[in-house]
Structure formats: structure tokens, C-alpha cells
Amino acid sequence: MSDLLFTLPQFVIVCVAFLQRSKLSTGMQFMGLQAFISCIADLLAFSCTNVWAVSNEFIYNYYMIAEFVIIAVAFRTAMNSKPIQRAIQISIITFPIFAVFMLGLTSFTSMNYQVLAISFLILSVVNLVYLILPDIRVNPSDGLVLVAIGHIIYFLGVAPYFIGRELMIQSQPEKANELFFYINIVLAICRYLFIIFGFLSLSFRKKVKVSP
């Protein structure tokens, strides 16, 4: 993960979320929080490599867990189906335990891409359920639909690479890293644009409501 590569779009999300703070649902508030924590993680990672000259991968291991919990909580609050809420709550409890266990077996200082892929696949299911079951949405107009679309595009796009990354690195490391760079940056831009539009859509919908 490149230091500060995605800090700017995340910072834009934080700014837009702050400007729209009076209109945000609980789920969108959590998405603003997730962007804010992402900015902090990127700044810490940048400091690790450029100031303290140490590996920054341990920061992203911890951020991976925080991102999963925040996004899962955001969508849990946005759904009114008790069974689905319980299922998400179970994942909120079990995934961090699973992640810490797997990192303990491997290393807390090296990024575990397989665990990251699992987190993305679980979050993809959560976002997909939110999209395909509109009746369970607490507030269909709060912008989370656009956020969910962005998440699904990114999570499902990069998860297969993370799963097969080790094999690709062993055979052709330079091509594997280059391929990931381009896949990640294109899909991440799509993700962030959908999230930004999700926040901006709140103002648009308000204007529509007051139009004669």
C-alpha cells in the first residue's frame, strides 16, 4: 500500500461529511469516521517509512480490523431486519478475533492479505444485502446505497488478487505488484467517487424536496 496515495480522496470525504454533518444518518456518520481513521492510518504509515524508517504494514493490519468493524456497524444501523442485524453483529465480534488469531500465527508486522480478502468478501455480502433488499433499509435516501455500490466494486475487485497474491509474487513479483497498483488505484477511485457522491446526494435530495 502506497503511503498517502489515497489520503486526498479520504480527506475530501471527511470534509464533505463534516459539511453535511447535520443531515447524516448514523450509518453515514460511521462512514465519515472510517474516512477520518483512514487518513490517520495513512499519515502514521507515511511517518513510519519516511521519518522512523520502519515497516508500516503493522498499521494496516490494525486498520484492516478497524475498517471492518466500522463499516459493518454502519450498515447494521442502517437495516431494520433483526436476523440480518444479528448476523452482522456476530461478524463484528468474530472477525476481529479471527484476524488477531491469524496475525498471531503469521506476523503482526507483515500485512496479511488473505485475512484482508476475507474481510472484503464479508463486507461485500453485507453491502450486497443492503442493496438487493430495499425493504430493510431504515433510511433509503441517506446516501448509503451509493456507498454500498462503491464498496462492492472495490471489495470484489481486489479480493481475488489478495487471495492469489502469494502465488503471483513467487512467480512474477514485479508484474504482480504492478498489476495490483493499477487494479487498486482504478477500483479505489471508483469507490471513493461513489462515497463522495453518497454524501453529496444528501444536499441534492433536500433541494428536490423543497422544489415546487
Choose from 53-57, 143-147, 169-173 the range with maximum mean pLDDT.
143-147
Question: Is the pLDDT score of 170 beyond 80?
Answer: no
* pTM (2 d.p.): 0.91
Sign (positive or negative) of CA dihedral 127, 132, 138, 142 = positive
Q: What is the mean pLDDT of residues 174-197?
A: 90
Instruction: Please report, rounded to a whole number, the percentage of residues in the chain having pLDDT higher than 90.
Output: 74
What is the pLDDT at residue 15? 97
Question: Is the pLDDT score of 89 beyond 60?
Answer: yes
| DSSP structure string for the chain | --TTTTHHHHHHHHHHHHHTGGG--HHHHHHHHHHHHHHHHHHHHHHHHHTS-S--HHHHHHHHHHHHHHHHHHHHHTB--HHHHHHHHHHHHHHHHHHHHHHHHS-SSS--HHHHHHHHHHHHHHHHHHHH-GGGBS-TTSSHHHHHHHHHHHHHHHHHHHHHHHHHHHH-HHHHHHHHHHHHHHHHHHHHHHHHHHHHHHHHHHHHHH--
Weakest mean pLDDT among 5-19, 78-92, 195-209? 195-209
The string of pLDDT tens digits covering residues 129-161 is 999 999 999 998 899 999 999 999 999 999 998
Question: Is the pLDDT score of 43 beyond 60?
Answer: yes
Question: Is the pLDDT score of 164 beyond 70?
Answer: yes
Question: Is the pLDDT score of 63 beyond 80?
Answer: yes
The string of pLDDT tens digits covering residues 4-23 is 678 999 999 999 999 999 99
Sign (positive or negative) of CA dihedral 163, 194, 138, 23 = positive
Give yes or no for a contact between 31 and 53, defined as CB atoms under 8 angstroms apart. Answer: no
Q: What is the mean pLDDT of residues 47-72?
A: 94
What is the pLDDT at residue 128? 98
Neighbours of 62 (CB within 10 A): 15
